[in-house]
Structures are given as structure tokens and as C-alpha cells.
Structure 1
Amino acid sequence: MSETSAKTFSGLDKGAATAAPVAEDRSRPVHVQKLDAHGRAYATGKRKNAVARVWVKPGVGKIVVNDKDHEAYFARPVLQMILKQPLVTANRLSQYDIYATVAGGGLSGQAGAVRHGLSKALTYYEPELRTILKKEGFLTRDSRVVERKKYGKAKARRSFQFSKR
């Protein structure tokens, strides 16, 4: 084997190693702020069959869901709590105005979808919040959905009542 082929085979070239620029740290991805033309962050959240479109912009803490106040749309306090969890965790309850449109599913799924979309939109507006929200599990889409009904069964798994005679 010649000297030039040995260099290319081993991949070591002493001259190129010293002239190579210093590589950036690629172990952590860089997250940048993503805003639209109006200065808002947009994200889509999903839960069960519900899909929420969420916009976040600086404001006084007003939350509007489907053109209604969030307290009027989600009447149960548990759903309101689910909706506000990312803001409470990030300590940003009265810093942003949130506008959301949500469709599909029931109220529980819709509240979860808005929470998921709000968490994603907050990370687009403030990328440094990503570690806090990810640790709490708000950025992960809850993949649990209703199991389909199978033939020969009364429901998804329930069998028909057994009759001996």
C-alpha cells in the first residue's frame, strides 16, 4: 500500500487536522424564537380527538378560547386548572395573552389540547422555558385514544353476556 493511499484509507491527514475550524457543540440543539408577522407565537396542540390552535403574545393574562373567556368555555375548575398548568409552572400567568381555537372531542380532551398547544407556543416565544415544560411533560402529546370496537364484542373488549342455555 502506498503512502497516499494509506492516508486516505485511515482518514488521517496531518495537514488537514490542524487547519480544520473548531466545530460547534452539537450535543444540544439550538432553539430559536419563532414568531409570526404580528409578534405572536403559534402552535398546535392535540389530545384524544381534539385539536387546538394556540397563539401567544405579550399581554395582561387574558385567555380566550373559541371567542369566549376561558372561564365561560371551560366551566369546571379542573379544566381551567389543566389549561393554566404551563403558565403556572413557568411563572408567566399574567404576562401573556392567549387566543385559542379548539375543535373536536369533548371538553376534557379540548382542555388537554389547549394545554399542549400553549406549552409548545410558550417554548416558541421563550425557548429557555423548554426545559421546565418538558420536565413536567407538557410538551409530550398524550397518545392515549379510545380503543376501537371489535366485531364479535359488545364494546372494545367487553364480551356479550354468556348464556348456558
Structure 2
Amino acid sequence: MEKQKIGLGRRKEAVTRVFLSKGNGNIVVNDLDYKAYFPQIYLQNQVELPIITIEGAGKYDIKINATGGGKKGQAEASKLGIARALITLNPEFRPALKAAGLLRRDPRGVERKKFGKKKARRSFQFSKR
């Protein structure tokens, strides 16, 4: 059996572990097909993007364990994890993935709520009289 390559992806509160091996293009997320797990087309495209970038459609089987966050965060974390796993498989993929911006972790997270405010930035309603 082929050795699996592992990639870790994070986005907001979502963390995904990606296991990549040679195969015929199956992508499974938490024991479901990725099209069932991510019903929105744009989320499916996010997951497929690293494979399409290296023109490797149908060459790799991908198993993803996703925890935390929402569906969009998990899809974007999966994208980063797949890209990192592809580089461990073949370092020659790095320039193409880097040019597409797939190796950069998005650092944005939720801004904390401040005391004296209703939310992070929203103030309580002000009454002049």
C-alpha cells in the first residue's frame, strides 16, 4: 500500500487533517463524500482548487478529518491542508501552489467583545434625551 502524506490546515476555529495517497480521485470528509458534506458549489470548488492547480484531478485519494468551526472554515482549512500534503508528496508542486496563493494561512479570526460595548465594535444605543 502507498504511504499516506499528511497535511494540516487551519482557518478561524476549523482544523482539518488531510491524508493524501495515490488513487482515483475520491475525496472523503468525515466519512462522507465531499459533495455531500459541502453541498454548496463554491465550497466544493475550494476543496478541489489545489488538485486543479497542479492538474492532478483523478490521481489522488484524499481523506479529511474536519473539526471545529463552520462549513466555510472547514472547506478553506481543507484547501490549505491538501496543498501542504501535496508538497510533502512532491516538492515540485510548490511554485504552482504558491503562485495561486494556496500555501498562505488566513490569519483572520473573530474579534473579541469589549466591555462597555454590545459586541466587538457595536455600542449600546445612545439616547440624547
The TM-score range, normalised by the shorter chain, is over 0.9
Q: Which residue of 2 aligns with 1:94?
A: 58
Q: 2:82 aligns with which of 118, 124, 128?
A: 118
| Map of 1:60 onto structure 2 | 24
Equivalent AA in structure 2 for residue 97 of structure 1: D
Corresponding residue number in structure 2 for 1:152: 116
Please show how residues 119-138 of structure 1 align to structure 2 within 5 Å: 119-138=83-102
Deviation at 1:136, TM superposition (A): 1.1
- Tell me the CA shift for residue 137 of structure 1: 1.1
Please give the per-residue CA displacement for 1:51-70, whole angstroms capped at 9, x wherever unaligned.
00001100000000000000
The structure with the greater share of residues assigned to strand is 2
Cα RMSD over matched residues? Answer: 1.1
Who is 1:23 aligned against?
none
Q: Does 1:69 align with 2:33?
A: yes
TM-score, normalised relative to structure 2 = 0.97
What SS does the aligned partner of 2:73 have?
Answer: helix
Q: Which runs of 5+ in 2 are unaligned?
A: none
Q: Of the two structures, which has the highest relative contact order with CA contacts closer than 8 Å and spacing of 6 or more?
A: 2
Amino acid at match of 1:132: A
- Aligned counterparts, 1:20-31, within 5 A: none
Structure 1 position 128, deviation (Å): 0.2
Structure 1: stretches of 5+ with no match in the other structure? 1-36
1:41 paired residue number? 5
Contact in 1 for aligned 2:2/2:22 (Cα 8 Å): no
Query: Normalising by structure 1, what TM-score?
Result: 0.76
| Code of the aligned partner of 2:59 | Q
**CA–CA distance in structure 2, aligned partners of residues 129 and 73 of structure 1:** 27
Q: Which of structure 1's runs of 4+ aligned residues deviate more than 3 A? A: none
* Structure 1 residue 139 corresponds to structure 2 residue 94: no
Distance 2:4 2:32 in 1: 19
Q: What is the DSSP-based 3-state SS (H/G/I as helix, E as strand, rest coil) of the residue aligned with 1:128? A: helix
Cα distance in 1, alignment partners of residues 112 and 83 from structure 2? 29
Paired residues, number: 129
